[in-house]
Amino acid sequence: MAPESGPRRSERSRQAILAATRELIAEVGYGKLSIEGIAARAGVGKQTIYRWWPSKGAVVFDSLLALSQDSAGDIELPDTGDIRTDLKSLLRATVEEFADDDFQAPIRALHTEIMNDPQLATAYREQMDAPVRAAKLRRLRSAQQAGQLAGDADLDLLLDMLYAPLTQRWLLRSGGLDATFADALVDATLRAFAPA
Amino acid sequence: MAPESGPRRSERSRQAILAATRELIAEVGYGKLSIEGIAARAGVGKQTIYRWWPSKGAVVFDSLLALSQDSAGDIELPDTGDIRTDLKSLLRATVEEFADDDFQAPIRALHTEIMNDPQLATAYREQMDAPVRAAKLRRLRSAQQAGQLAGDADLDLLLDMLYAPLTQRWLLRSGGLDATFADALVDATLRAFAPA
């Protein structure tokens, strides 16, 4: 058999590095994640990592991007016909995800990087967040057409008011985060954008 | 003259370390801030810093706590008698502060630490955020008594819905942040908690 060719070996190393990054975030947490640790786990040299990625944040981003592309497909949100029911389901699910360490630890790591790297923030917004946000906006527009939201409601503002308080309580640990809070947030947001 | 006594010398070193930390955050940014750099600027050994603080985050926290205690005093918010006017003034001022690098860089650094250190998050909430939040709640209660907010409005939820979208756009760079956005946020929040 011919020896494995260069490009194929490269891709295998790349995948090993991304998998090692995800494993180590889950095992040791983001604070203790290092390029050295990733290299050791992936069985490559540090220089191999630095040849492909400029920073720890960039490796973390790519390791999560691969995951989100696997799972994204064509995102469609629940649509029972009642926007209040659907938003409460969505926000309660988000609250549960934030309570699940396997789920939230890597996203917290990514957000830490985003806060201190404007380029990564743009990449996150365009590549990871945009498809999810577009699906949410589609669901809100259909509620608007059904007369469940004001015809002139600013749906971008609505989404921010709905999700930012959840994200803040999760990221900054600034308050309790449970189903009751999620429901109250949905009810208040729907009051703000109720049809006339 | 007697040589300077131990406790006085300690306090002088402590103040030099806190000042060096604030200066370096402004000059090199949080990402490049190191205990070594702080020690060099303050003219002390690294071990002196580690004797008093367990982590970089803890030094950053204390350096900003000293500032906020200098400026806090008894916080009172603007009260023109009209809650809409006052909240718009407040949020527009916050938008301006977030655009000012001297102001926002150290707070961004602190929030980075808070995200990855639950103990620091608690210290921040209790020592730095609580007095400001209490002042905001006082102003909201007086608006409630004046009949400008619903009598049963959940004022904690109101504050989260008002400030979290600003904080998120600033920290995660997830969208534009200007006076128009601040005004729209105030108007939508007041609709959500309008008197019956």
Q: What is the ipTM of this complex?
A: 0.83
Contact B27, B68 (CB under 8 A): no
Task: Return d(Cα B128, Cα A92) in angstroms, integer.
Answer: 30
A135 shares a domain with A103: yes
Q: What was the pLDDT predicted at B87?
A: 97
Residue A38: exposure state from Cβ atoms within 10 A (0-12, 13-18, ≥19): buried
Write the pLDDT tens digit of every residue in A156-165: 999 999 999 9
Q: Quick check: is A1 in a domain? A: no
Say yes or no to pLDDT of B176 above 80.
yes
Say yes or no to pLDDT of B76 above 90.
no
Domain end position, chosen among A19, A37, A62: A62
Q: Quick check: is A68 in a domain? A: no
B152 shares a domain with B83: yes
| Chain B interface, Cβ < 8 Å to A | 29-31, 108, 111-112, 114-116, 118, 121-122, 125, 129, 154, 156-158, 160-161, 164-165, 167-169, 171-175, 181, 184-185, 188-189, 191-194
Q: Which residue has the tokens 């009209």?
A: B82
Mean pLDDT score across all residues of chain A: 89
Contact state of B169 with A160 under an 8 Å Cβ cutoff: yes
Indicate which CATH number applies to the domain containing A80: 1.10.357.10
Contact A37, A2 (CB under 8 A): no
Task: Return d(Cα B189, Cα A36) in angstroms, integer.
Answer: 48
Q: What was the pLDDT predicted at A30?
A: 73
Task: Return d(Cα A54, Cα B1) in angstroms, integer.
Answer: 56
Domain end position, chosen among A14, A39, A62: A62
Q: Which long-range contacts (CB under 8 A, 24 or more apart) does B174-181 make?
A: B174/A121, B174/A125, B174/A129, B175/A156, B175/A160, B177/B95, B177/B98, B177/B99, B178/B95, B179/B92, B179/B95, B181/A157, B181/B95
Contact state of B160 with A169 under an 8 Å Cβ cutoff: yes
From chain B, the residues in CB contact with A161 under 8 A are 161, 165, 185, 188-189
Say yes or no to pLDDT of B65 above 70.
yes
The DSSP output letter for A186 is: H
Q: Quick check: is A90 in a domain? A: yes
Select, from the ranges A59-68, A153-162, B12-21, B22-31, the one with the highest average predicted confidence (pLDDT): A153-162
Q: What was the pLDDT predicted at A5?
A: 60
Task: Return d(Cα B112, Cα A113) in angstroms, integer.
Answer: 9
Q: Looking at the complex, report in whole angstroms how far the Cα of residue A32 sits from the nearest Cα belonging to chain B.
A: 11
Q: What is the mean pLDDT of residues A30-58?
A: 90
Residue B145 backbone phi and psi in degrees, to 5: -65, -30
Of A109-113, A139-143, B160-164, the least confident: A109-113
Reported as a pLDDT band with limits 50, 70 and 90, residue B13 is: very high
Amino acid at B196: A
B187 shares a domain with B90: yes
Residues 6 or more apart from B121 whose CB is under 8 A from it? A172, A173, A174, B114, B115
Task: Return d(Cα A13, Cα A6) in angstroms, integer.
Answer: 11
Say yes or no to pLDDT of A184 above 70.
yes
Say yes or no to pLDDT of B1 above 50.
no
Indicate which CATH number applies to the domain containing A41: 1.10.10.60
Q: What is the mean pLDDT of residues B181-186?
A: 98
Task: Return d(Cα A84, Cα B71) in angstroms, integer.
Answer: 43
Contact A44, A53 (CB under 8 A): no
> Percent of chain B, pLDDT > 90?
57
Q: What is the mean pLDDT of residues A166-183?
A: 94
Q: What is the mean pLDDT of residues A113-121?
A: 87
Q: Quick check: is A151 in a domain? A: yes
Give the pair of three-digit tokens for residue A189: 């947001």
B152 shares a domain with B109: yes
Reported as a pLDDT band with limits 50, 70 and 90, residue A90 is: very high
Residues 6 or more apart from A158 whose CB is under 8 A from it? A140, A149, A189, A192, A193, B188
Say yes or no to pLDDT of A1 above 50.
no
| Chain A interface, Cβ < 8 Å to B | 29-31, 108, 111-112, 114-116, 118, 121-122, 125, 129, 154, 156-158, 160-161, 164-165, 167-169, 171-175, 181, 184-185, 188-189, 191-194
Q: What is the mean pLDDT of residues A38-47?
A: 95
3-class DSSP state of A57: helix
Domain end position, chosen among A62, A84, A106: A62
Reported as a pLDDT band with limits 50, 70 and 90, residue B74 is: low
Higher pLDDT, A75 or B101: B101
Say yes or no to pLDDT of B6 above 80.
no
Mean pLDDT score across all residues of chain B: 89
- Domain encompassing residue B108: 74-192
From chain A, the residues in CB contact with B160 under 8 A are 165, 168-169, 175
Q: Looking at the complex, report in whole angstroms how far the Cα of residue B189 sits from the nearest Cα belonging to chain A.
A: 6
B151 membership: H or E segment, kind and range: none
Select, from the ranges A54-58, A98-102, B37-41, the one with the highest average predicted confidence (pLDDT): B37-41
Domains identified in chain A, total number: 2
Count Cα atoms within 13 angstroms, Cβ side, for B178: 2
Q: What was the pLDDT predicted at A73?
A: 56
A171 shares a domain with A90: yes
Residue B5 backbone phi and psi in degrees, to 5: -75, 160
Q: Quick check: is B177 in a domain? A: yes
B100 shares a domain with B174: yes
Of A38-42, A75-79, A185-189, B129-133, the least confident: A75-79
Q: Quick check: is A97 in a domain? A: yes
Q: Looking at the complex, report in whole angstroms how far the Cα of residue A12 sits from the nearest Cα belonging to chain B.
A: 31
A111 shares a domain with A176: yes
B78 shares a domain with B172: yes
Q: What was the pLDDT predicted at A81?
A: 95
From chain A, the residues in CB contact with B125 under 8 A are 173-174
Task: Return d(Cα B46, Cα B90) in angstroms, integer.
Answer: 41
Q: Quick check: is A67 in a domain? A: no
Q: Looking at the complex, report in whole angstroms how far the Cα of residue A24 sits from the nearest Cα belonging to chain B.
A: 16
A169 shares a domain with A91: yes
Q: Quick check: is A83 in a domain? A: yes
3-class DSSP state of A153: coil
Give the pair of three-digit tokens for residue B194: 């309008």
A84 shares a domain with A44: no
B94 shares a domain with B144: yes
